[in-house]
Amino acid sequence: MTLQISNQVYEDAQYQNPDPVGPQIAVPLGFQDIELSWDRKAGYMRIIIEGYTWHFKEYLGKAHIVHTNNKDGRIHIYAKAQIDGDTMNMWRDKNAPLHPIVEGDIRPDTFNRLCYRRWESDGTPAQEWRLRDERLTQEKGWDAEGALVLVQGYVGDLNAEWNKNDSIAHIFHQGWTIVDEDKIAHLYDRDLTY
C-alpha cells in the first residue's frame, strides 16, 4: 500500500527545480559528517561535506542525526553517502550505537514529514522544525489534533525517504519518535531493535 502524502504545503514552501541536476563529482567514500539542507537558490536538496556541495532530487537511506542548526535550517548527520543520478543514497554505520531511549511524549511509528519552519505567520523568524504525522493527516485531515508538532530540532536514527515526485522541500522519517521536555524530536528507526 502506498501512502498518499498530503498536497497541502506551508507558507514558506520551496519547489524543486524541474531541470536535471547535471554531472557532479563523486561524493567522498566512507562515513563522515554531512550537512543536509534545502538549497533555496538552486531549488534542490543538498549535502555539504567539507565545504563541497552535492545536489539531488530524491533521498533514500539511513543516517544518524547528530543535531540541527536552527538559525540556518540545517540537519547535521553522520552517514556514508553516494549519488546515483538524481538520487542520494545514505547508509548508517552498522557499528554505531543505537540512539538512547529518552523520556517524553511518545509519537507512534508512522510516516513523519520533517521540514524547517523558517518564518512565523507574522514574518518574524521561527527557526524551528516540523514533525508531521502523514498517516494521521491522511486519515483525519490537515488540522487533525496531534498531526503536527513544532520542535526545536531532531536527533537520532533517521530512516529516510524523499521521492523525486515530491516537489516540496521535505524529507520523511519512517519510524517512531519521542519529543522530550526541551522539544527535541528523538527519531527511532522502525528497522532497528532498541
Summarize pLDDT for 107-156 with one digit per residue, the tens: 999 999 999 888 777 777 788 999 999 999 999 999 999 999 999 999 99
pLDDT of the residue at 47: 97
69's grid cell: 542548526
**Three-state secondary structure call for residue 31:** strand
- Locate the domains of the chain by residue range: 31-94+102-189
Mean pLDDT estimate for the chain: 89
pLDDT of the residue at 2: 44
> Hey, how many other C-beta atoms are within 10 angstroms of the C-beta on 135?
14
pLDDT of the residue at 4: 44
Percent of the chain predicted with pLDDT > 90: 71
Q: Is 121 left (phi over 0), alpha (psi -120 to 50) or beta?
A: alpha
pLDDT of the residue at 119: 79
Helices (H), 39-185: 134-140
- Residue-wise pLDDT tens digits, 69-85: 999 999 999 999 999 98
Give residue 13's pLDDT band: very low, low, confident or very high (50, 70, 90).
Answer: very low
122's grid cell: 507574522
pLDDT of the residue at 1: 39
